[in-house]
Structure 1
Amino acid sequence: MDSDDLGLFGPGSVTWKVHEEPILIVAGLRSLYLQALHPRAMAGVAQNSNYRTDAWGRLVRTATYVATTVYGTTAEAEAAGARLRRLHSRLRATDTLTGEQFRIDEPDLLRWVHVTEVESFLSTARRAGLPLSDDEVDGYYTEQRRAAALVGLDPATVPGTAAEVADFYEAVRPQLRMTREAAETAVFLTAPPLPWKLSLPVRLGLTLGPPRWAYLGIAGTAFALLPTWAHRMYGGLGLPTTALSADLTVRALRLAFAAVPRRYLEGPLIQAAKERAARHAAASLAG
């Protein structure tokens, strides 16, 4: 029954262990900074997305999709993947360097987005202090091949270990570059318009206040967590002290999130998944 279905991963998975971390909000931003360095992927987003006019709506939709694939039932996750595949199948973009038109759902582009996303989730959680063994790290990447299949990728073509992810980045780096679109996107990610209710006081001439500064701190941390080679593409030096500072900051953020009651941080999808898991555990004990 769907009411007791534990979804693609379940409570014993590394995926649930990683995605229970509220610090992944930082990871999501980190992945977007990384993705912007791929000119073809960036063209696909810029030419088909309303992210500049609906940044927060797009963020909510993306977060809901990830939560559905991680915590939804198998049917819910598969339905979300099918909707995304249908959307991507209709979209085209033009390569700004060659003028070639291409499909948004090209496997190479889907793989780039998938790897940058899951690597950002994992590396951010680990640098924030989540204890994960090397086997668990590889287990997470292997589990996430199920999520890759939902967007239309052949799981066998998706990196499934930390070593394979490192090899993937090494192979794709010659395709990456700092473009005008990447720079504009990075600036936008760092200082997007605030949601209406938060931006209203600013429009009325009142003090900018904590929301903007809090977001700037999160965005700055996300950018600082990028790999050294990505910092260099963005024009930074990528000094070792940058990585140390990022680690200290993201650990402090994780501690701050830990002080917030879980009921304020967990959405209905997570709560429903945990209720199904509790029923499943109780049924197993009773049986």
Structure 2
Amino acid sequence: MSPLSVALLGAVAGLTIFLGLPLGRLKSGTAALKTALNAVATGILLFLLWDVLSQAWEPVDAALTTHDLGTALVDGVLMAACLGAGLLGLVYVDRYMRRRTLAAASPIEAARRGSASYSPAGSTGIALAAPAAVEPVVAARHLALTIAIGIGLHNFAEGLAIGTAAAQGQLAFAVLLIVGFGLHNATEGFGIVAPLAGTRPSWGYLALLGVIGGGPTFLGTLIGQAFSNDLVSIAFLGLAAGSILYVVIELLAVARRSNRKTLVGWCIFAGLVAGFLTDAIVTAAGA
């Protein structure tokens, strides 16, 4: 498989995020569907988390087998550091984005609450009303944009993992990552457009969110293929594992809020089975 083919497949894996974005224009009736697809994605990601960590740990395990403690220590510390960077980096990015969103929303809320009593000096005493119909839409668009940026960051790490696996000659693993990330990214669109429910965003704005959220997978795949040593591979896989773990935590929180334990349980199980089946198929095919 040529580097260009891998890069294009990486782009496809990222841009499947567009499949979920049209739900942002639906008014209602999709709660159960969103819950089911998010749960399936969680199951797939749990499998991928195990698979990615296994790949990252393999050089450490090999070094320990040959009693090369120095290499094992360096590889193990690097894996742990990158795993933490992938997970905690997104945690802090999310916290920063939330603070910015709250800071942007506070003046709007204050203006809305004070509009009944505020009037500028020299006015006739008629209150200045905040444009209530417009400001919630602006806040929703801002929140959707911040979510897309956060998802784009973790999709960049996923692209790095895809490119590195391909550069290392692990095409079966690269294809598995492409399929798995592609299936998951198809559900990420739901998370991006959730704040836009009822606002009927334009198709152009949805396309922008899709490029921000899914495009970094292609960029990461290109960069990942430029490096092909064990240390870089461990670092990228650790970042990917951390980002996957972050998204799993987020999706489990969504599942808990849905109050659909039976549906969530079955769909997570289905996602796990799908992950193992995908791995079996691509391995048997010798991809």
TM-score (normalised: structure 1): 0.28
> Which structure's CA Rg is the greater one?
2
Structure 1 or 2: larger helix share?
A: 2
Higher relative contact order (CA 8 A, sep 6+): 2
